[in-house]
Amino acid sequence: MMTLGCPKNRVDSEVMLGTLKHRGYTLVQEPSEAQVIVVNTCAFIGPAKQESVDSILEMAELKKTGSCSTLVVTGCLSQRYGEELAKEMPEVDHFLGTSAYAQIGDLLAAEASPRQVIPDPDYIHDANTPRVNSMPKYTAYLKVSEGCDNACAFCIIPTLRGGQRSRTIDDIVIEAKRLADSGVQELNLVAQDLTAYGHDLPGKPKLHDLLKALAQVDVRWIRLHYAYPRVFPDELIDVMASEPKIARYLDMPVQHVSDKLLLSMKRGRNSEFLKGLLTKLRERVPGLVMRTSLIVGLPGETEEDFEMLKEFVKTQRFERLGVFQYSDEEGTAAFDLPDKVPQKTIERRWREVMAIQKRINREQNKKLVGKRLEVLVEGPAPETEHLLVGRHQGQAPEIDGLVYINDGLAYPGELVTVEVTEAHDYDLVARVVERPDPKQRQHVARDAHPAPVPVVQMPRPTTRME
């Protein structure tokens, strides 16, 4: 299973893996060993589409050189371009859309099955659906809804994923408890629009109702991703501030600060509202780590708009920032907007914002030197077994920096207290000062045996651009 794109796509892959494992398939790590290869694609922007096509062609080569006999392409690229891909890629056996995941077992078992299964997007898994957690044992993504009812001008996702479909609170809690029982310490809530959770359900439960229920589950951190800022009630902020299991972390994409561009984007809120919400969150949730996403180069973005955006980044000082270069996507409202921004200008603006954010990151990390943090240990560092890596609650998996531990011993999945000794652009270096007592360690995953770590200065100088 090759998964491209966002964590929501990863959950879809995990559902397919669970379905196939339930059917008796054996999962292997290396594509060269697989008889069936599934490529779960992304089609959000141009570079993602190209990566998906390249990955499909790479896996198709294994039908010639490896043991692969069946190649399946799923996900957003199939949903968007299924018919065209079927004509252009004869080496692919099946194309499944974003609502056909549950059918993959039947498709592979049938002697004669359709090459394309691309229904209208209306599916979402539930707690009874088999699922294989592909993340390390101590962390997992939890998809609480699928689809989106917004109509952002730059975004093709509602076309590919359909309208909002929320799972019930009871159903989500059942899955969360199952994950906790398997050793998960950290639940990362994902959706296309997390703050819209529940508006499509009977009784219209809200995200804060879901969080109160999830707080009763035996995990340490519950992290919020993809929180659309248009609707952000005080009750949600109250739960974030008062419930210790809700990580002091919020991923809330604002996209821009120019009122003209926010209107063009059809974001539904202006800069005054966004700035007021950010101020309220900072004031009422002490220690909150904010991640946001911005877009540079939307048609009509002038240098004046861009300077406004840079000043916004300097003033708000987000702890985490992702910047997208605008991609002109057919089928979106922005595709028809006039005043396109040249690609070289888009790239320059991206570099300028990232340079500002890099300085902010280093300055904020320096303030953590000498401080003590609770860290979820991930295991030996990829670069060397003489270092451990972990994350504090202000660092989300896969997208944020890491804490490199160069003094101490801990097991993967263990929550330890560290003291920060060095700061870098995105990462921290620290030493272990306290571990949980043996009774608290009994649920820790011990799949790997971390080696004792000598006191050596081996921080990783990162050049990662978020």
- Using alpha carbons, list the distances in angstroms from residue 80 to 201, 288, 366, 432: 27, 38, 45, 49
pLDDT of residue 438: 64
Give the pTM: 0.93
285 membership: H or E segment, kind and range: none
Quickly tell me which residue has 């398997």 as its tokens: 182
- Report whether 317 contacts 364 (CB < 8 A): yes
CA angle, corner 35, sides to 30 and 41, nearest 5? 70
pLDDT of residue 64: 87
By C-alpha distance, which of 245, 243, 249, 205 is closest to 226? 249
CA dihedral 409, 411, 417, 419 (to 10 degrees): 40
Share of the chain above pLDDT 70, in %: 94
pLDDT tens digits, one per residue of 409-464 = 898 999 999 999 999 999 999 999 999 876 555 455 444 333 333 323 333 323 34
Q: Is 68 annotated as a binding residue?
A: no
Domains of the chain, earliest start first: 2-117 (3.40.50.12160), 139-367 (3.80.30.20), 371-434 (2.40.50.140)
Question: Which residues of the chain have a pLDDT value below 50?
Answer: 442, 445-466
CA diameter of the chain: 64
| Residues across the chain | 466
d(CA 375, CA 435): 10
At 228 the three-state DSSP class reads coil
By C-alpha distance, which of 209, 175, 179, 185 is closest to 195? 209
d(CA 155, CA 176): 30
Residues with Cβ within 8 Å of 163's Cβ and at least 6 positions away in sequence, in order, are 147, 148, 149, 200
